Amino acid sequence: MASLQTLIAKPWIWSFLGALLVWLATVAFTGGYGGGGMITAALSLAVFTVIVGVGQMFVITLGPGNVDLSLPANIGLASAVAMKVMDGNDAMIVVGLLAALACGMAVGAANYLLIWALRIPPIIATLSASFIIQSIDISYGRGLQIKPPPGFADFTNWQILGIPVLAILTVLFTVGAAIALQRMIYGRSVLAIGQNIRAAWLAGVNVGRIRFLTYTLSGMLGGLDGALLAGYFRGANVDIGNEYLLASIAVVVIGGTSVAGGKANVPGVWGAALFLVLLLTMLNTFGVSAGVRLLLTGLIIVGVITVAGGQKALR
């Protein structure tokens, strides 16, 4: 009983319960048909949300006002860069991935440069940056119709016993992120800054460097996501990252991370991502129109935030 109580006290358990509930509702609707396939599909799609969600989580944990609005533009540009560098050639996969990572890191570093040099709120900095990145992407990726190398496309769709390999790798990555957050100096510094930036500074945390690293990390994960998305959906696209602005912020908040900063939760990101993907699957299975789907997605997100959010700031 005691273990059950500690389990319920965990903030991330609710997102997994929500995902389970949505899955059960869908399976009940189809009469048990396709339940396993649905989990496979949900896992492979949730991966993309989890990767950017973790980056966004570190940024949001830095404290009020910290958020990366440049992720969609970043993902779009990185997807084009990855496809152009790989050029459909299996031998160039690693180089293309590295190029996408570098592209994302450059975006993240540019974001922090704006925040630092102009002393503006991160929302405005990442917003202005995303305007420019978007234009670069439109101009650079115009008419880009390069397919991903077959090896890369196969890799992003590769499954073992119905479990996407990409999902397994992402689980390992999130375990690493959780360790970095709770057990390493970097993660503890991020939490300290989020709780009280002045106290963290007085305690000797190199605030500037940690914030720089965090924005660069978020940018890098956006770049990685762009490359993987282009592989999974067989081609780059300016709009490929659009849905990840809402998704990355929503999974962080639904997953139990405090928007006021200083309190983060890695497992919750997975639960919330599965919840969102399964929710879309459910609405599609029910056969609702695009308008109703958008409407319900929005209402459910607002509803979940209303129930799950609402904690006071830590100060």
Partner 1 sequence: MTAAAIENQLKGASTRNAAARARRLRSLLPALSLALVLLAIAWLNPRAISYFGFSLMLNLAIPIALATIAQMFVIAGNELDLSIGTFVGFVGCVTATWLKDAPLLGIVVLAGSIGVYALLGALIHLRNLPSIVVTLGMSFVWQGLAILILPKPGGKAPDWLLSLMAFKPPFIPFPIIAALLIAAVVHFGLMRTSYGVILRGSGGNAAALKRAGWSLLKTKILLFALTGLFGVLSGMALIGITTSADANIGNGYTLLAIAGVILGGGEFVGGRVSPIGAVLGALTLALAASPLLTFMHIPPDWQVAANGAILIIVLAARVLISRRER
State which of residues 71, 86, 193, 245 lies at the interface with partner 1 (CB under 8 A): 245
Mark the segment that binds partner 1 (CB under 8 A) among 47-55, 128-136, 173-181, 201-209. 128-136
Under a CB-based contact definition with an 8 Å cutoff, are residues 43 and 24 in contact? no
Closest to 15 in 3D by CA, of 188, 197, 211, 251: 251
> What residues between 55 and 114 interact with partner 1 by CB under 8 A?
65, 67, 114
Stretch that binds partner 1, among 23-31, 51-59, 223-231, 287-295 (CB under 8 A): 287-295
Structure tokens at 230: 């282009």
Contacting partner 1 (CB under 8 A), which of 6, 30, 135, 284?
A: 135
Q: Is 118 in the site for partner 1 (CB under 8 A)?
A: yes
Nearest to 255 by CA among 239, 240, 241, 266: 266
Q: Token digits for 240?
A: 């490929």
Whose structure tokens read 């929005």? 298
134 binds partner 1 (CB under 8 A): yes
Q: Which of 20, 84, 87, 121 binds partner 1 (CB under 8 A)?
A: 121
Q: Is the dihedral of CA 234, 237, 239, 241 positive or negative?
A: positive
Q: At 172, which amino acid appears?
A: L
Q: Which of 91, 294, 314, 315 binds partner 1 (CB under 8 A)?
A: 294
Rounded CA separation 180/197 (Å): 19
Contact stretch for partner 1 (CB under 8 A) within 92-100, 134-142, 171-179, 185-193: 134-142
Beta bridge partners of 160: 163
Q: Rule CB under 8 A: which residues touch partner 1?
A: 65, 67, 114, 117-121, 123-124, 127-132, 134-136, 138-139, 142, 245-246, 249-250, 253, 259, 289-299, 301-302, 305-306, 309-312
